[in-house]
Amino acid sequence: MRDLDLKIFLKRLAATHGEPCLSVYMPTHRVTARRPKDRIVFKNLLKEAQEHLVARGISFSEAKRFLEPALKLQKDLLFWEYQGNGLALFLAPDFFEYFISPLSFDPKVSVSHRFLLKFLLPALYRGELFFLLLL
């Protein structure tokens, strides 16, 4: 993804509000022998996401239905053939996007009223210093 495309992508993510907004970050590997491990890590992160959703008052069946696009991606063997160093996934009602990153991410699951975007900023500003002000 070019920097301009990434800026547009980030703006679209920042403009998405609602309940719930799921953000999932994880490292991925390009080496064939590591791919099954990546799918397992992703599956475990989705299980953690489901637990977060249920803790927020969403029924188990509704949480599973909400996660369906991500669960389909987890089963898509072709998708796992073409990875970078990191994967960021964003899911909300009527919204599903992911970003295959040249940068690696620590595994992270966030369920909130907005997407967690701060981990994508280094991909946008590679090699540049920046400060992030949180209010």
- Note the pLDDT tens digit of each residue in 48-94: 999 999 999 999 999 999 999 999 999 998 888 878 899 999 999 99
Segment 113-135 shows an average pLDDT of 73
Segment 14-36 shows an average pLDDT of 83
Query: Mapping DSSP to helix (H, G, I), strand (E, B) and coil, where does residue 5 land?
Result: helix
How far does CA 7 lie from the centroid of its chain?
A: 16
DSSP code at position 57: T
CB atoms within 10 A of CB 117: 16
pLDDT of residue 91: 97
Say if residue 33's pLDDT is above 80.
no
- pLDDT tier at 130, thresholds 50, 70, 90: low
Q: Which amino acid is at 128?
A: E
4 or 101, greater pLDDT: 101
Segment 15-22 shows an average pLDDT of 90
Say if residue 115's pLDDT is above 80.
yes
pLDDT of residue 42: 96
Give CA–CA dist 111/96, Å, rounded. Answer: 14
Residue linked to tokens 């992911």: 98
pLDDT of residue 129: 54
Sign of CA dihedral 50, 13, 99, 75: positive
